[in-house]
Chain A
Amino acid sequence: MSYLSTHIRVVGALLVREMATRFGSKPGGYVWALLDPAAHILLMTMIFRAIARAPALGTSFALFFATGYIAFQFYQAMTSYLNSAVRANRALLSYPNVAPIDTVVARFVLQVGTTTLVAFIVLGTIVATMRVDTSLHWPTILEAVAMACLFGLGIAMINCVLFLKYPLYEQVFGIVNRPLFLISGVFFLPDSIPAPYHDLVLINPLVHIVMGFRKGFYPEYRAIGLDMNYLYGIAFLTLFAGMLVFTLSRKTLRNE
Chain B
Amino acid sequence: MIRFEQATKYARTKGIKKPIIEDASLTLNRGKSVGLLGRNGAGKSTLLRLIAGAIRLDKGRIVRRGKISWPLGFQGSFQTSLTGEQNVRFVARIYGVDTEELIAYVEDFAELGPFYKAPVGTYSSGMKARLAFGLSMGVNFDYYLVDEITAVGDANFKKKCQAVFETKLQDSDLIMVSHSTGTIRTYCDCGVVLEKGKLTYYDDVEDAIRAHDINMKEN
Indicate if the CB atoms of A93 and B81 lie closer than 8 Å.
no
| Cβ–Cβ contact B90 & A16, under 8 A | yes
A20 CB within 8 Å of chain B: yes
Complex interface: stretch among B50-58, B107-115, B179-187, B207-215: B50-58
Q: Which of A94-102, A143-151, A207-215 is the interface stretch? A: A94-102
Q: Which chain B residues lie closer than 8 Å to A5 at the CB level?
A: 96
In contact, A9 and B54 (Cβ under 8 angstroms): no
Interchain CA distance A91-B82 in the complex, whole Å: 15
**Does B79 interact with chain A (Cβ within 8 Å)?**
yes
Q: Which residue of B lies closest to A10 (CB)?
A: B94
Q: Which residues of chain B in 69-117 are interfacial with respect to chain A, using CB atoms and an 8 Å cutoff?
A: 70-71, 74, 76-77, 79, 81-82, 86, 89-91, 93-96
Bound Cα distance A210, B18 (Å): 51
**Which residues in B have their C-beta under 8 angstroms from that of A98?**
94
Q: How far, in angstroms, from A170 to B219 measured CA to CA in the complex?
A: 45
User: In the complex, what's the smallest C-beta–C-beta distance from B89 to chain A, in angstroms?
Assistant: 8
Most buried by B among A12, A95, A251: A95
Q: How far is the CB of B85 from chain A (nearest CB, A)?
A: 11
Pair A254/B90 contact, Cβ less than 8 Å: no
The chain B residue with its CB closest to the CB of A96 is B53
Partner of B54, one of A10, A17, A93: A93
In the complex with contacts A6-B96, A9-B96, A94-B74, A17-B52 CB distance below 8 A: no
- The answer to whether A20 touches B93, judged by C-beta atoms less than 8 angstroms apart, is no
Once the chains bind, are A95 and B55 in contact (CB under 8 Å)?
Answer: no
Q: Whole-angstrom distance between the alpha carbons of A92 and B54 in the complex?
A: 10
- What distance in Å separates the Cβ of A75 from its nearest Cβ neighbour in chain B? 28
In the bound complex, how far is the Cα of B56 from the Cα of A97, in angstroms? 13
Closest to B75 in A: A91
Q: Is the CB of A16 within 8 A of B71?
A: no
Q: A94 to B77, alpha carbons, bound, how many Å?
A: 8
Number of interface residues of A (CB under 8 A): 24
Query: Closest approach, in angstroms, between the C-beta of A164 and any C-beta of chain B?
Result: 15
Bound together, the chains give a CA A216 to CA B79 distance in angstroms of 42
Known: A21-B81, A93-B54, A96-B52. A13 touches B76 (CB 8 A): no
Assess whether A13 is in contact with B94, with CB atoms less than 8 Å apart.
Answer: yes
B215 to chain A, nearest CB (A): 26
Question: Which residues in window 195-251 of A have CB below 8 A to B?
Answer: 250-251
Which residues of B lie under 8 Å from residue A6 when comparing CB positions? 96
Query: Is A95 a contact partner of B81 (Cβ separation < 8 A)?
Result: no
Whether A21 contacts B70 by the Cβ 8 Å rule is: no
* Pair A254/B52 contact, Cβ less than 8 Å: no
Whether the Cβ atoms of B79 and A21 lie closer than 8 Å is: yes
Cβ of A25 < 8 Å from any Cβ of B? yes
Q: With A and B bound together, what is the CA distance between A142 and B180 in angstroms?
A: 63
Q: How many Å from the CB of A219 to the closest CB on chain B?
A: 46
Q: How far is the CA of A250 from the CA of B91 in the complex (A)?
A: 22
Report B-chain residues with C-beta under 8 Å of the C-beta of A254. Answer: 54-56
For the complex, is A133 an interface residue (Cβ under 8 Å from B)? no
Instruction: Give Cα distance in the complex from A95 to B78, angstroms.
Output: 12
A97: which B residues are within 8 A, CB to CB? 94-95
Instruction: Name A17's contact: one of B12, B82, B96 (CB within 8 Å).
Output: B82
Chain A residues whose C-beta falls within 8 Å of the C-beta of B79 in the assembled complex: 17, 21
Q: Report Cα–Cα, A93/B96, bound state, in Å.
A: 17
The complex places the Cα of A250 from the Cα of B53 at a distance, in Å, of 13
Residues of A within 8 A of B56 (CB): 250-251, 254, 256
Asked if A24 is at the interface (CB within 8 A of a chain B CB), the reply is: yes
Q: B68: CB under 8 A from chain A?
A: yes
Residues of A within 8 A of B71 (CB): 94
A96 touches B68 (CB 8 A): yes
Which chain A residues lie closer than 8 Å to B91 at the CB level?
Answer: 95
Contact of A24 among B52, B82, B94, B96 (CB under 8 A): B82
**Known contacts A21-B81, A24-B82; is-contact A91 B76 (Cβ 8 Å):** yes
A254 to B53, alpha carbons, bound, how many Å?
11
Instruction: Name B residues whose Cβ lies closer than 8 Å to a Cβ of A.
Output: 11-12, 49, 52-56, 68, 70-71, 74, 76-77, 79, 81-82, 86, 89-91, 93-96
Q: What are 22 contact pairs spanning A and B, CB under 8 A?
A: A5-B96, A6-B96, A13-B90, A17-B82, A17-B86, A17-B90, A21-B81, A21-B82, A24-B82, A25-B81, A91-B77, A94-B70, A94-B71, A94-B76, A94-B77, A96-B53, A96-B70, A250-B56, A251-B56, A254-B55, A254-B56, A256-B11
> Across chains A and B, which 4 residue pairs bring their CB atoms closest together, nearest first?
A13-B93, A96-B53, A91-B76, A13-B94
